[in-house]
Structure 1
Amino acid sequence: MSFQMNPDYPSIEHLRVKSKKRMPKFAYEYLTEGCNEDLNVYKNTKEIRDIELMPTYLTDLKEVSMKTELFGKTYDAPFGITAVGLQSLMWPNTAQILAKTSVDFNIPFMLSTVTTMSIEECAEITKGNFWFQLYYPKNKEYREDILKRAWDNGCRVLCLLSDVPTFGYRPKDIYNGFGMPPKMMLRNIVNAALHPTWALESLRVNGIENRGMPSFKTLEKYMPGGMDLRQLGLFMDDFFDGKLTVERIKDIQKIWPGKIVIKGVASVEDVQTCVDLGLDGVIVSNHGGRQLDAGPSSISTLGPIVEKFKGKITIMMDGGMRNGPDMARVLASGADFCFLGRPFMYGTGALGTKGGDQAAWILKREFQQVMEQLNCEKVEDLPKFLHKK
């Protein structure tokens, strides 16, 4: 792959600033905000950055390798693109752009049930090398059909979402009309008009007949035609049941032949349950700080989980990482792999079709520099460089 980094945007922060200028306010706030007072969004990153790494300079460093094996596949870096709902609201065709980035950089891509690209299109772009995050459908027939579509299209890693038993209380989303049912607010229409590149590209990609608004492509098969926004909200509320239970996991184990990962765990007790069920992995996460403002950061819950379960189950983490040093801190703290969402979204918001590759290149280069600075040859050696104060 030949890629030329745009030097005008050399960091994820540069991409974030640019994306804020290009996105309508309602779309940018949907991406960046958490719930209630947004405390956990802030804590997720701050507490990662309290971690320090100690270099060892007077040693021979051969060649740094970022290659990481995960569930039988070898990736070129120890991070992937996590699932994000309604991706094309932030920038049109974001899901497709990021799926292609995952191929270009040989990193995993996780497709959400409620994003704006279908399972089938994702499979076509990634050649079947993608993960699927399942929001639990109430209807058994629909649930099994979605899983069959994912498996038949090449997906071999299923992520069951555990941390949305109820939707977080997000005041800014409510103000912007993103409650259920959603509302078409006059101020949003005005704000979209003030961002003509976003508006015109949305109309081009999503169609004038849809007023440029993206749709849930994977779910279209199960939706009645001609729904207005209110009917869509009622459909979504009726279609899903966010509560993940042991019995529901066991039911899915009976029909899913691939790997199963629980995404959104935070407690030792929940990980013990996953181990007892014979699951393949967990993603320690607090849903990007969007669900429980009174809860702990993702990194603060990682330590006890690593201490008890390292080597017994694959332990991954998402939430709060914004650059290469952040990922190095998390991996040094014992995680086997990282997933990131917002940094890639900032990339597409800032640079459109080129933004996913720009974000991946930055993250990979920053991470490599940290490893070289530490004199760390392999990703799995990073815990040796954790500075214990």
Structure 2
Amino acid sequence: MAMKFDTRYPSIDDLRARAQKKIPKFAFEYLDGGCNEDVNLIRNTSELRDVQLKPNYLRAHKGSSLKTNLFGIEYDAPFGIAPVGLQGLIWPNSPEILAKAAFEHNIPFILSTVTTTSIERASELTEGKAWFQLYHPTEDKLRDDIIKRAEAAECPVLVILCDVPTFGFRPRDIRNGLAMPPKMNLTNILQAFGRPDWSLQTLKHGIPNFEVLKPYMPKGLDLTQLGKFMDDTFSGRLNEEKIKPIRDMWKGKLVIKGVASHEDAEEAIRLGLDGIIVSNHGGRQLDAGESTIKPLSTIAEKYGDQIEVMMDSGIRSGPDVARAMASGAKFTFMGRSFMYGVSALGNAGGNHTISLLKTELQQVMDQLCCETTRDFPNHLVK
């Protein structure tokens, strides 16, 4: 097996441990934590890992391919980089690092409305292949302008977010001053001094800003006013009235992220969406909710022939990707795994993490005698 990654960090857990030593505590806890008591954060991965796969050792095997077709595009692996907010706070310049790596490896990169690089820059780095995730604005004019920017940037897929009708209650972030509005207290400043590499990179790349939203933010807006701006500018709860104008306006593929029930899956199909991402926002919104693997398997079985069913939340490794796809996902996305990688290894983190995940997944497929990613469901132990 060709080792194309840094063998000092041969697992996502190794990258997580390294990231914890490289970035300030407030940044690590923002990345690593869930909401409330972290029940659903933990459940996401633990219940996914209850899924078991069946190998076929005596069958002729012609080799395995990670290549996966989604929305008419052939990607080199069945996983992509999920949208993450405030990426530049976690590791300076990280959205650009990850966008470049995704392009080089031919996998999707999804840019968040509230991350720290612009739609135009992400498009430039990926030659128009980056997807864009839209937080729904309160004003139609702002919504239309952002969508037009995504269209001009040639984004092939627009992702609308349905699982943030309210911001999750995250005790760590509140203690660390990363609630809305965020503030840098003395403790955070001391933590930054204790992570000199992170601090130097922040000085090099500048204080992170919401680059997508920069054209719409009042000049001179300070952090104390940011919470009010976000509350006034965005309305997270989606419904038919909000989705239909987007479907009418957007001519590319339209995906809704955050679906966790049959009712929402049926509504997405009725409204003419092209795909759903079964997700619970990485366990950051509803601690009392189900793990993502639970609704995924039944949604995929019932609606997989009507709409592209994808999954994120709780996936951490190549075997996890295999488990999700065997359970019915046509494609998968990860956020934390890639952010651990870039926080641990800086500019090399994106390529390292993608190579590691590809290597892990290739090993699983060869072990199972699974020749294409479409064959994963045939290896599910039911």
TM bracket, shorter-chain basis: over 0.9
Partner in structure 1 of residue 238 of structure 2? 244
Deviation at 1:3, TM superposition (A): 9.2
Q: Identify the match of residue 217 of structure 2 among 220, 223, 241.
A: 223
- Given candidates 282, 287, 297, the residue that maps to 2:281 is 287
- 2:291 is aligned to 297
CA contact (8 A) 2:35 2:283 kept: yes
2:3 maps to 1:9:
no
- Aligned partner of residue 45 in structure 2, secondary structure: helix
Over residues 64-120 of structure 1, what are the superposed CA-to-partner deviations in whole Å (9 max), with x where a residue is unaligned?
111111111100000000100000111000000000011111000000000000001
Question: 1:362-373 counterparts in 2 under 5 A?
Answer: 362-373=356-367
Taking the TM superposition and a 5 Å limit, the aligned residue runs for 1:233-382 are 233-382=227-376
Correspondence 1:128-139 to 2 at 5 A:
128-139=128-139
Secondary structure, aligned partner of 1:160: strand
Deviations 1:7-48 (A, max 9, x none): 111111111100000010000000010000011110000001
Counterpart amino acid of residue 91 in structure 2:
W
**How many Å apart are 1:233 and its aligned residue?**
2.1
CA deviation profile, 1:358-387 (whole Å, cap 9, x unmatched):
000000010000000000101000101001
- d(CA) in 1 for partners of 2:143, 2:7: 45
Note the residue ranges of structure 1 that are not aligned, 5 or more in a row: 207-212
For 1:259, the aligned partner's letter is K
- The secondary structure found in structure 2 opposite 1:346 is helix
1:121-132 map, 5 Å: 121-132=121-132
Q: Report if the CA contact (8 A) 2:4-2:355 is conserved.
A: no
1:4: Cα distance to partner? 4.6
**Offset at 1:333?**
0.4
What CA RMSD, in Å, does the superposition of the two structures yield over aligned residues?
1.1
- TM-aligned CA deviation for residue 303 of structure 1: 1.5
Amino acid at match of 1:99: A
Alignment of 1:61-100 (within 5 A): 61-100=61-100
> How far apart are the structure 2 equivalents of 1:387 and 1:296?
21
Q: What is the rounded CA distance, in whole Å, between the counterparts of 1:191 and 1:153 in structure 2? A: 38
Aligned residue for 1:209? none
1:210 paired residue number: none
Task: Name the CA distance, whole Å, in 2 between partners of 1:86 and 1:282.
Answer: 24
Change (3 A) 1:248 1:22: same
Contact (CA 8 Å) 2:102, 2:109: kept in 1 or not? yes
Percent identity reads 56
Distance (whole Å) between structure 2 residues aligned to residue 372 and residue 303 of structure 1: 24
Q: TM-score, normalised by structure 1?
A: 0.97
Give the CA deviation at 1:228: 1.4
CA distance in 2, matches of 1:5, 1:384: 30
2:201 aligned with 1:198, yes or no?
Answer: no
Q: CA deviation at 1:181?
A: 1.4
Distance in 1, matches of 2:348 and 2:46, equals 29
